[in-house]
Amino acid sequence: MTTASIDQDLLQRGGLTLAVDGAVATISLARPEVLNAQTPTTWDALRAIGEGLPDEVRVVVVRGEGRAFSAGLDKRFFTATEVDGSPGLASIASRPEADVDTAIAGFQSGFSWLRHPSRLTVAAVQGHAIGGGFQLALACDLRVVADDVQFCMAEPSLGIVPDLGGTYPLVQAVGYARAVEICLTGRRVGADEAVSTGLALRAVPRAELDAAVEELVRSVVALPAAASIAMLGLLNGIAEGRDPAAALAAERAAQVQLLKAITGNPGRV
């Protein structure tokens, strides 16, 4: 599979660029003039990338061009009936409930593939990561942030809730009580707090963000691919609620396959 299968026009309309260099894919939010505000087409394009990435890609980096990662949903969708061919929020809400649910599920699929254990995903986050921008960062396995980062879950202040999959990883990262406080106050979370609470892996000066992410990616890609994928699968399973006995069984199953592979003794049926 190659990136030729990904609709380049869709990427452009969604405000994204995609670069694939061997085992590493970099997705860039490329509308810096509007702080990388997202649209439903952005989410369609993200889903298309997830479906079309080459199998050899092991690490995906998500980043934003300019001074912000993403300011969230394009504000035009809160007031307009239609924006760039996509219905506004009022138009979506006017549909039957089942249709609204289906539409939101489609939006979520643009983010959910980023947590699949077949690949490590890293968000490189600078400046504002608001609402949908915060949720996009949360969709990734790891977050490396610049010292000017400002996370904010702004949806409740607008009378809605985050619905792009952000609630689950937020609670996993910072715990229930802190997630409640972050969401219900709408306050900004800076770099130091993000690192101290587990929301971010590390914080670096803005000018060093790309280099820090590149160093992390190089370390991951240097590992044997099968072991890296198996390790991520084990940890992901625990994060998703696998109990201790099941975790032990998963370790055994993964190790059997790896030992068979590295010793040249294929498994028996």
What CATH number does residue 156 fall under? 3.90.226.10
CA-nearest of 16, 29, 216 to 122 is 216
**Distances in Å between the alpha carbon of 247 and those of 22, 42, 119, 260?**
32, 36, 20, 20
Q: How many domains does the chain have?
A: 2
Residue with tokens 């298309």: 48
For residues 57 and 7, membership in a common domain is answered with yes
Residue 110, domain member (yes or no): yes
Residue 268, domain member (yes or no): no
Residue with tokens 């369609």: 44
Residue 205, domain member (yes or no): yes
Distance from CA of residue 47 to its chain's centroid?
11
For residues 53 and 127, membership in a common domain is answered with yes
User: Could you give the CA distance from residue 110 to residue 123 in angstroms, rounded to a whole number?
Assistant: 15
- Report pTM: 0.94
For residues 245 and 131, membership in a common domain is answered with no
For residues 149 and 216, membership in a common domain is answered with yes
For residues 134 and 169, membership in a common domain is answered with yes
For residues 105 and 43, membership in a common domain is answered with yes
For residues 241 and 201, membership in a common domain is answered with no
- The pLDDT score that the predictor gives to residue 81 is 86
Residue 105, domain member (yes or no): yes
For residues 167 and 247, membership in a common domain is answered with no
Residue 269, domain member (yes or no): no
Residue 142, domain member (yes or no): yes
Residue 119, domain member (yes or no): yes
Contact 3, 56 (CB under 8 A): no
For residues 10 and 138, membership in a common domain is answered with yes
For residues 110 and 8, membership in a common domain is answered with yes
Residue 199, domain member (yes or no): yes
User: Could you give the CA distance from residue 152 to residue 168 in angstroms, rounded to a whole number?
Assistant: 15
**Distances in Å between the alpha carbon of 34 and those of 69, 81, 128, 132, 192?**
11, 20, 12, 14, 26
Across the 269 residues of the chain, what is the mean pLDDT of every consecutive 10-residue run? 78 96 97 96 96 95 98 91 87 95 96 95 98 98 98 95 96 96 97 98 98 97 94 94 96 96 74
For residues 172 and 47, membership in a common domain is answered with yes
For residues 210 and 101, membership in a common domain is answered with yes
Domain range spanning residue 234?
A: 225-263
